[in-house]
Homo-oligomer: A and B are copies of this chain.
Amino acid sequence: MRLELTMDSIIQFVLLFTVGLVVSALSLADGDNDELIPYRREVYGNGRIFDISHRYVADMLGYESNDGIGDFLWLRRSMKNDSIANFSEMKFSVHTGTHVDTSGHVFDHYFDAGFDVDTLDLEVLNGLALLVDVPRDKNITAEVMQSLHIPRGVIRVLFRTSNTDRRLMYQKKFNTSFMGFMKDGAKWLAENTDIKLVGTDYLSVAAYDEAIPAHLVFLESREIILLEGLKLDDVPAGSYSVHCLPLRLAGAEGSPIRCILIN
């Protein structure tokens, strides 16, 4: 067979070559784009680590707010204004998002005496924990606590309620119908279990109507630590190693906290 270099075949070749170049260039660009898309995870290492903390965004839910927490972060110095590096500042309530409460939150004499978030026991905040499912659409009463049969010796319990099913923490508007501890549930826990770390899945461990009485019961002895606003979606109930690390904010009655579960 003879190769005929007609004008048509030359044009065809040039066209195909050009298309090929464009396709290569596009896929290269795609590759670059892929590389510059940040990868956000809730679970790491195929289930070895579960992140049970919520992400801070302007639309994040705030206690008794309809508008979210609003802007909490801004660039104080930006590379776009010839700074040698980017430097952001942040500002928000220490009770924002996934956070911890100390006794000074509801007891002013403890606040004045300096029982701040830096005095919390890291041994309580780090160790074996149970993630349990609470009967749905019920507050955590003494009766519910009793029905959970949490054995003596269990120090850390994360209580998952219908708040998680309803994805209440993902709504910008505060919802008073969330589930939480009633005063008698808190009292039952304090008197009949060894639990020292109590976590739930909305901005308050206590139900809205008994928020203060239940907090008072939990925090009076200064032995129980309260984790609020945990993200317990898509984590199997069971036993984990929990690690919760608040900031060492001298004088603060609470702190944002990052919590993880390790399998």
Contacts and interface: CB of A to CB of B under 8 A. Distances in A.
B260 A113 contact: no
Interface string A103-135: 011101111011110110111001000000000
Contacts of A55: 118, 248, 250
Contact of A248 (B54, B84, B251): B54
A109 B88 CA distance: 16
A68 interface: no
Interface stretch (A40-48, A149-157, A187-195): A40-48
B85 A212 contact: yes
8 contacts: A37-B113, A51-B122, A55-B248, A87-B95, A88-B94, A88-B251, A97-B248, A248-B258
B38 A115 contact: yes
Contacts of A253: 86-88
Contacts of A48: 123
A8 to B, nearest CB: 46
A91 B93 contact: no
B111 A250 contact: no
Interface of A: 36-41, 44-45, 48-49, 51, 53-57, 72-73, 76, 79-80, 84-95, 97, 104-106, 108-111, 113-116, 118-119, 121-123, 126, 212, 215, 243-254, 256-260, 262
B122 A49 contact: yes
A93 B88 contact: yes
A87 B106 CA distance: 9
A90 B252 contact: yes
A48 B124 CA distance: 12
Given A126-B243, A248-B56, A121 B89 contact: no
Nearest to A76: B93
A126 B249 contact: no
Contacts of A116: 38
A95 to B, nearest CB: 6
B88 A90 contact: no
Contact of A91 (B54, B87, B90, B248): B90
